[in-house]
A and B are shown apart, each in its own frame.
Chain A
Amino acid sequence: MSKNLLKHIHPGTKYQELTPGGHIYGSGNSKDFLTGSWRTVTPRWDEGKCKQCLLCFPVCPDSSIPVRDGKRGDFDFDHCKGCGICARVCPFGAIEYQAGEEE
């Protein structure tokens, strides 16, 4: 799993603490940037209606539909931007969008 090696860096950081060349060490620390705040509509996953076909999984631009042991779980609301593609492709009406940013 990736860890954020640059956690100490923010716009107030002194030059001595920045990484030479603007290099970013490690992997995937964008997880720390919570794009969930972008939402104006929020998906609701109806686990009962969900047939676990996983057709929603590949259409998410934000890797916000976790799949573990062949099954999807609830949305990653820290990062879901509310684009609505998943609801549109779900053949079983198991995803509905509601106004607002709240989970």
Chain B
Amino acid sequence: MPKQDRLSGNEAVAFALRQIDPDVIAAFPITPSTEIHQYVSLFKANGEMTTEFVTVESEHSAMSTCVGAQTAGVRAMTATSSCGLALMHEVLYIAASSRLPIVVAVVNRALSGPININNDHSDSMGSRDAGWIQLYSENAQEAYDNMLMAHRIAEHPDVCLPVMVCQDGFITSHAVENITLEDDAFVKAFVGEYRPAKYLLNPAEALSVGPYDFPAYYMEHKMLQTLAMERAEAVIEAVAADFGRATGRHYGLLEAYRMEDAELAVVLMSSSAGTGKVAVDRLRAQGKKAGLVKLRSFRPFPAAAVGKALAGVRAVGIMDKADSFSAFGGPLGAEVRAAMYEAGLRAKAANYVYGLGGRDVRVEDFYEVFAELEKATDGGKIPAHRYLGVRGLEGGAKQ
């Protein structure tokens, strides 16, 4: 039977890890994901988990240990943030190209420098081309649910790709909220067993992994990899459908909030969606046709779903909690615009870089965005991209 509880995002992820009880967890601490490993250690110490808990000496080694274990034939997981994720960078590519369904809990934190321990998406955005499926969680419930669905997605024979389940550091990882937890038996049954076809510890057939690829082969291997990412969209939806039937909590590639007749919309990910929805509700009460699109899956990028969600919109504010330093906005800005173009949409689009390094995101910030979008629909000129909530900018910070 599911039960109600009050947990932080980290506690919820740790709870999920306990229920999943992967064969190997490689652990290295970094704020704000450290607690997850601490909970696992306690669970193990009290006999509540059978996982082989490998306390490695760096995040690079954490991911390397996961690659070794998963290739050997078992489930391997870890949790990290920020520079830890950055330190794993080359191994992330190897995990994905080796088609290993490793699942990692990423508690999003800004990349140095300057060093900052608070939330933004620069860490997972920095790894967006590594070939990992990336799911973003708005709150502890979503972080928990995404964790339960992750292995079914990763291990699906059409996919065989690693998955990052992301949540905002401190904002949800350390904030307690009401949550529905499934029981252990349900999780075990839903997640199932990992039975790879090819693995190192198979006495019947040896396996060599990590070969040198001549130019004659590399691109064909990448082709296989990219097709797997394309197929992941349907698998993410199918697993969510199963999950929804079983739990009553329904997910998709994205969430379209009050978008049916929206003319002004924001597109964003993760915890700020909560604040954004409050702003949308209040604007709606004022008669404005506001809406919000929250991406759950960033990789694969659900271009068709984004195009469909924004079909009737007149102005879009694409909100990025990371800067690409492309001098043209952030990653979500670039990809949403591409999806809009592909869908034949010519709505006004503006890209807002916000919330960097844990900068507080307020309802008033959303008002500022929607006001600007409204100005655009009235024929006013608005910047194609800008920072939001910085002292000294016209409009100013709302501190």
Q: Which A residues fall within an 8 A CB radius of B?
A: 2, 11, 13-15, 18, 20-27
Q: Which residues of B contact A20 (CB under 8 A)?
A: 99, 160, 221, 224-225, 228
Q: Which residues of A contact B97 (CB under 8 A)?
A: 21-22
Q: Give bound CA distance, A41 to B99, whole Å.
A: 43
Contacts A13-B220, A14-B220 hold; do A23 and B209 have CB atoms under 8 A apart? yes
Q: Which residues of A contact B211 (CB under 8 A)?
A: 22, 24
Any A CB within 8 A of the CB of B98: yes
Find the residue from B208, B213, B223, B225 having the highest chain A CB count within 10 A: B208
Q: Which B residues fall within an 8 A CB radius of A?
A: 97-100, 160, 198, 205-211, 213-214, 216-217, 220-221, 223-225, 228
Q: Are A23 and B198 in contact (CB under 8 A)?
A: yes
Q: Which residues of B contact A13 (CB under 8 A)?
A: 220
Q: Are B209 and A21 in contact (CB under 8 A)?
A: yes
A10 nearest in chain B by CB position? B216
Further contacts, 14 of them, CB under 8 A, given A15-B223, A20-B99? A11-B214, A15-B220, A15-B224, A20-B160, A21-B97, A21-B99, A21-B160, A22-B210, A23-B98, A23-B208, A24-B207, A24-B209, A25-B198, A27-B206
Q: Are B209 and A11 in contact (CB under 8 A)?
A: no
A15 nearest in chain B by CB position? B220
Q: Give bound CA distance, A21 to B198, whole Å.
A: 11
Q: Give bound CA distance, A23 to B213, whole Å.
A: 11
Q: Are B98 and A21 in contact (CB under 8 A)?
A: yes
- The minimal Cβ–Cβ distance linking A13 to chain B, given in whole angstroms, is 7
Q: Give bound CA distance, A11 to B213, whole Å.
A: 11
Q: Give bound CA distance, A12 to B97, whole Å.
A: 21
- The minimal Cβ–Cβ distance linking A44 to chain B, given in whole angstroms, is 34
- The minimal Cβ–Cβ distance linking A18 to chain B, given in whole angstroms, is 5
Q: Which residues of B contact A2 (CB under 8 A)?
A: 206
Contact of A22 among B98, B160, B206, B228 (CB under 8 A): B98
Q: Give bound CA distance, A21 to B81, whole Å.
A: 26
